[in-house]
Structure 1
């Protein structure tokens, strides 16, 4: 399958294009890439890069597979060891990843001159300095990209050289910021003020341009470098010769291309700082100075290889000693002015050599994600690594003596690093993973390569209720085109078992939540060793977090958003839970802005999506219900929405429109519907708004009503020759065709013939109330709502007599963003851009509409692979019982690139308070300093009286209430009878809730309220949740 030089499959690449943009994707599909080395690291880079979609990826590694390769090579099998080369073992599976990418084995001359013909050359695990230099110099001369990378034990590096002069057109990938202008002064240092309730978000040195400024029109379309004065003001330089500012205007950030200079490989060995920098990039601020030491170690490893003709042996102390000596010699030698010097740590340097020849999948996944993203940066999108990135994770090494006896197995590299005991414990663990999408696929690959579920009672349980779609194939690499429509968890687990036949996976097609607790019950959770969150929504994350806190299980959390990703370790009694830290809520768009006063394309797109839902989705569903039983529907809807005439009237109007056509569907009828929709949305509604608020309308304070951010709209009359008008009609007609079961209209010809014959409803002014802003409390309604509602109800009662079969022919409409045949995105694009045209807002391409309306989450295979690798390493640390000070959360942005590893925060403690704002008085924590992990555990069955007495005796608490979920099981007002006090607590719960005790549960989670005396003063008891075991 071929793709043109600049066109690409928008459905396949939609989540990636949401990050890169269409322009960058068009550049990427023209790139020809070469990768040398297909151990774990090279294979990870190849996989990620092929998914990204360059023109071609050419591979080279004629090394015959060894048994240890299987610990990081997910496309090799046991029967290929010693018989098949790495490139031959991988080529078939790599070709299957993306039909648009040419994936081949290199068979040309293996020298710098030949390789320099590729757009980007990637060398992995190469330690021949002469060969590296030859290739690097040849590639530099062509102005192409060169990347060198290795993953060696717990030490890895990447070196990037994009030649002497390389231009970046977008350093961070963020959307350009916009600010609404409120004023511009005529001064030597002209000050731009923005509207007071919205920060401009600019930074010193940013470049901005202006549009739509009235009065000081000289600033429009010019670029100014700014200085920030405050969150609401910035200066643009001398404006004294400009006209006086009158009104309106938008300031838009401009991304000015930047030129970067790179050093050659040889020059940077002694002087590793990139031009303009004076340090190496750092991932972990507790490791200041470590990258410089690692660079000296890197030089020593190069010299060791050159001197001995081989790499340092695994766990070979003599080789490690030699590398240490070489590092000292290099560090102490005179290598020219400004050459790097570092204070060397002997243990650190030796560790780089001792584990050098090992490759483990957490690290190859981590570095593979980083390096593949660097290849993509050759398009000019995002900031490349400049130029060395070194990092090590030696804190993950065992701190006590472990059994490192190798077994000649695929796990030898893991045994060498972590010991047989840790590996055995991991393989014997019961792991529960929620989600089998992009993150889940990477985790399953990692679990299979590490042998999870291959020993004793070990098992990896995966659940996901979602099915595979075409748009998943760009990131969820375990899936193929023939898997589309299948369940994700079942498919992914099957592939995991194919990767490692000894690993055991079990899948469920279930969503986690209360409804499936009979499956994932108390016994299930009690038997787990750890949980993995691989989901993309906060609700599921919080639920799994609450379950882990309740059952005391570690949770490994991760998430991605484009080039950004994060991981969080949630460890019992040691760290914060997920729910203790929350991102700020997304900024919502005020309803009055959406309905009448949009000023950004996002507003018109959201309005279009809401209109689609209200008219097509709700309208078709309501009409079906109406036609099934007209009398009941009308009676119910009039009762339910009696107090909301502004909602009831349009609902009845849409039902009437759908029902009238349902009586006798035809092409003419639905074209008439579509044309009248156009007239109503883009002409009549706009005329009505201008009737209520004319262009010269003033507020009660005497200010002009139509001032920033309000934009006075212009009505649009239908023009059959306008392509955007045609798109609206064409898409609406096709959506109606699907609802009514009419033939699809692929061509516009038949529709065009009918349009001139259709008359539309002309605008008639009405007296209506419209909210002027979000603070306006008046109800939006029309003066004739009540009359029209009665009339509509009467017409609907008469309409369907003799037409009861019509409901069976109608099809409900449900928005689907990824179906290119349903015309949904075309309709939204037409509505969004026509409404933008109403309000003089710049229009956008249909794909941009799809991203926003479909709430498509930007995603990249590179980011996903990298963060899963980082979590994999933390899992080993947890198995090794590392102190939390050596564990790491991560926040990474590959676009910049920015790496932040930090120690997890401790859990928040409930403390005694002199005044609690919720309880309106002092509180005492029971037990003291309890956290989200704490439960008061009661393992014996009790009567209510015994339970109350237990709390009184142990904690001094006088129990005043007991609740389970939303049910009140006990309240001391009125005082309970002796009969009630003598009832078993579990049976009392069943009685009060009128339901049987859950058969799938062992525990009830009780919330206890009460009081106690502290120094003679009654205070409220802040009681930890009670875990009450009501059966064995």
Structure 2
């Protein structure tokens, strides 16, 4: 890929997404071509153009910003028509190989051959397998050899099996075949659904950056496959739509976003540059027990949607618990102090790369692996970028697609999709989300998304008695986060002590943190119904203290 020169024609929203990903992948050079000028509609399709770019050539307006993405890639703009001289930039002179009389070569177009013992043209003996073009039963062409000596004779040509090249016919040919096929049918389609076509045409006229990110990531990955020769490209064609978004026509005038991200301030500033009218509030707080007073139920209830761009949070405590159990006892580590090392991977001035080089070489020495210098180690780390650039672009676009459905007010679960994507294979799978598991309490269905609102302070015993009398369920296990508030397997003295304590005090003793006015995370994990049925993860509880109103009233959750 480092020796590849890529030409991208057209730098509207999709073209810019492709160019961005290819530049980040680290090819030799990228030339962006566009003969059109920037218009007002282009501003919504990408964020490398602004109001100052109106009337300017799109390629020239974007080239400076694109070049800043990767200083090791040469980025240039071409605003003239694509001529044969510009596209080819190679000599058309081809070398023709003629076999001995009455000896057929038996090759076909597209075969690869390697030469040996050719005199007069020694360079061809050292070449990689060359693709040939059959000219006849006794002759074939091996392409441009202007860099070699003029004439060669003798030698042997041996066919070499190479990875299969896949080429596809023009899409217009498929359209023509479909039209011809329709005329030959016994019952051809008499008419078209004009309403559907009008809706589709109006939707296709829009150009949204997140949707360009989806297609741009896929197209960029295909280019990287072509440059690297690894993985099979998409066979025939790829079709992507979101038909479920079409039925309702609604305009969105304003959207609120909450970036719960470690780089929220930087991301918010970048968003403001892309769209000055967009309202965004950055939060740099970590979402966890220590920020429970910030991200309360009141905070989340005020939002219309939440996008989680982090790892699976529930997996971290389990993984940490496993690591803690594997550590030696503190008594065996007298005098040893372990300090975690944290660093910003995108900052080249904090010497993190030097630490990585030193640590990796020490480990390599333990296993007899050849050490690597700093340049080689940084090159290895940099090869991760192409997968990150394309995959994250695709994931962000698909997440925005689901957000569009929420903003449009769609409530049917079958209109939403869970996505499973592997760009290398390539594999694209979409499925309908699974409905939340329900539990019946007194004829009413509850899920983990529902909760009971507990107004006012109650003791643990008062709450257990109320739940048993009201819903005919005896609670046998209840937790707050990872802390167990009540369980039937607890020692009797501990249970007796907690039964007469207020719920807020039970929570404070278990977590050693002062409870907030609203405690959203209490969970009824297990209970026994009057019928003898064991119920798992029944519902969530929110205790609000102090407050007025009924002692216990069920409330629908988010």
Secondary structure of 2:542's aligned partner: strand
1:812 & 1:969 partners in 2: Cα distance? Answer: 35
1:397 is aligned to 2:246? yes
Does the CA contact (< 8 Å) of 1:937 and 1:1028 recur in 2? yes
1:860 is aligned to 2:405? no
Partner of 2:193: 346
1:507 is aligned to 2:356? no
Partner of 1:66: 39
Residues 952/67 of structure 1: CA separation in 2 closer, same or farther (3 Å cut): same
Does the CA contact (< 8 Å) of 1:927 and 1:1024 recur in 2? no
Residues 976/377 of structure 1: CA separation in 2 closer, same or farther (3 Å cut): closer
Partner of 1:955: 471
What do the CA deviations read for 1:282-318 (whole angstroms, capped 9, x no partner)? xxxxxxxxxxxxxx3xx6xxxxxxxxxxxxxxxxxxx
Residues 957/884 of structure 1: CA separation in 2 closer, same or farther (3 Å cut): closer
2:35 & 2:453 partners in 1: Cα distance? Answer: 60
Partner of 2:261: 464
Partner of 1:518: 293
Does the CA contact (< 8 Å) of 1:462 and 1:508 recur in 2? yes
Does the CA contact (< 8 Å) of 1:91 and 1:104 recur in 2? yes
2:342 & 2:270 partners in 1: Cα distance? Answer: 32
Does the CA contact (< 8 Å) of 2:59 and 2:78 recur in 1? no
1:440-479 to 2 correspondence within 5 Å?
452=255, 458=256, 460-465=257-262
Alignment gaps of 5+ in structure 2: 95-108, 113-160, 548-558
Secondary structure of 1:390's aligned partner: coil
Match of 2:431 among 898, 902, 909: 902
2:353 & 2:534 partners in 1: Cα distance? Answer: 62
Does the CA contact (< 8 Å) of 1:926 and 1:1021 recur in 2? no
Residues 52/877 of structure 1: CA separation in 2 closer, same or farther (3 Å cut): same
2:87 & 2:498 partners in 1: Cα distance? Answer: 85
Residues 852/967 of structure 1: CA separation in 2 closer, same or farther (3 Å cut): farther
Partner of 1:77: 50
Structure 1 residue 514 displacement after superposition: 1.2
Structure 1 residue 882 displacement after superposition: 4.6
Residues 985/100 of structure 1: CA separation in 2 closer, same or farther (3 Å cut): closer
Residues 1020/334 of structure 1: CA separation in 2 closer, same or farther (3 Å cut): closer
1:851 & 1:88 partners in 2: Cα distance? Answer: 30
Residues 372/640 of structure 1: CA separation in 2 closer, same or farther (3 Å cut): same
What do the CA deviations read for 1:102-150 (whole angstroms, capped 9, x no partner)? 11111555324422449xxxxxxxxxxxxxxxxxxx99x9xxxxxxxxx
Partner of 1:90: 62
1:594-673 to 2 correspondence within 5 Å?
640-641=331-332
Structure holding more helix per residue:
1
Match of 2:539 among 1009, 1015, 1024: 1024
Match of 2:504 among 954, 969, 986: 986
1:377 & 1:853 partners in 2: Cα distance? Answer: 19
Structure 1 residue 848 displacement after superposition: 9.5
1:1013 is aligned to 2:530? yes
Does the CA contact (< 8 Å) of 2:14 and 2:215 recur in 1? yes
Structure 1 residue 369 displacement after superposition: 0.7
What do the CA deviations read for 1:154-195 (whole angstroms, capped 9, x no partner)? xxxxxxxxxx8599xxxxxxxxxxxxxxxxxxxxxxxxxxxx
Does the CA contact (< 8 Å) of 2:296 and 2:520 recur in 1? no
Residues 388/901 of structure 1: CA separation in 2 closer, same or farther (3 Å cut): same
Match of 1:364 among 212, 217, 236: 212
Structure 1 residue 888 displacement after superposition: 1.3
Structure 1 residue 98 displacement after superposition: 0.9
2:382 & 2:59 partners in 1: Cα distance? Answer: 40
Partner of 1:259: 164
Structure 1 residue 395 displacement after superposition: 2.0
Does the CA contact (< 8 Å) of 2:44 and 2:207 recur in 1? yes
1:332 is aligned to 2:182? yes
1:114 is aligned to 2:86? yes
Match of 1:936 among 452, 458, 461: 452
Partner of 1:498: 273
TM-score by length of 1: 0.39
What do the CA deviations read for 1:716-755 (whole angstroms, capped 9, x no partner)? xxxxxxxxxxxxxxxxxxxxxxxxxxxxxxxxxxxxxxxx
Does the CA contact (< 8 Å) of 2:476 and 2:486 recur in 1? no
1:811-830 to 2 correspondence within 5 Å?
819=351, 822=354, 824-826=356-358, 828-829=360-361
Secondary structure of 2:164's aligned partner: strand
2:355 & 2:501 partners in 1: Cα distance? Answer: 63
What do the CA deviations read for 1:196-229 (whole angstroms, capped 9, x no partner)? xxxxxxxxxxxxxxxxxxxxxxxxxxxxxxxxxx
1:269 is aligned to 2:208? no
Structure 1 residue 896 displacement after superposition: 2.4
Residues 998/34 of structure 1: CA separation in 2 closer, same or farther (3 Å cut): same
Secondary structure of 1:531's aligned partner: coil
Residues 948/509 of structure 1: CA separation in 2 closer, same or farther (3 Å cut): closer
Partner of 2:407: 879
1:343 & 1:165 partners in 2: Cα distance? Answer: 44
Partner of 1:104: 76
1:210-249 to 2 correspondence within 5 Å?
none
Structure 1 residue 1003 displacement after superposition: 4.1
Match of 1:539 among 310, 313, 325: 313
Residues 44/519 of structure 1: CA separation in 2 closer, same or farther (3 Å cut): same
1:747-766 to 2 correspondence within 5 Å?
none
Structure 1 residue 970 displacement after superposition: 8.6
1:415-454 to 2 correspondence within 5 Å?
419-420=250-251, 423-424=252-253, 427=254, 452=255
Structure 1 residue 981 displacement after superposition: 7.1
Secondary structure of 1:29's aligned partner: coil
Secondary structure of 1:384's aligned partner: coil
Secondary structure of 1:62's aligned partner: coil
1:872 & 1:506 partners in 2: Cα distance? Answer: 18
Secondary structure of 2:543's aligned partner: strand
Does the CA contact (< 8 Å) of 1:44 and 1:365 recur in 2? yes
Residues 964/359 of structure 1: CA separation in 2 closer, same or farther (3 Å cut): closer
Does the CA contact (< 8 Å) of 1:377 and 1:383 recur in 2? yes
2:4 & 2:330 partners in 1: Cα distance? Answer: 63
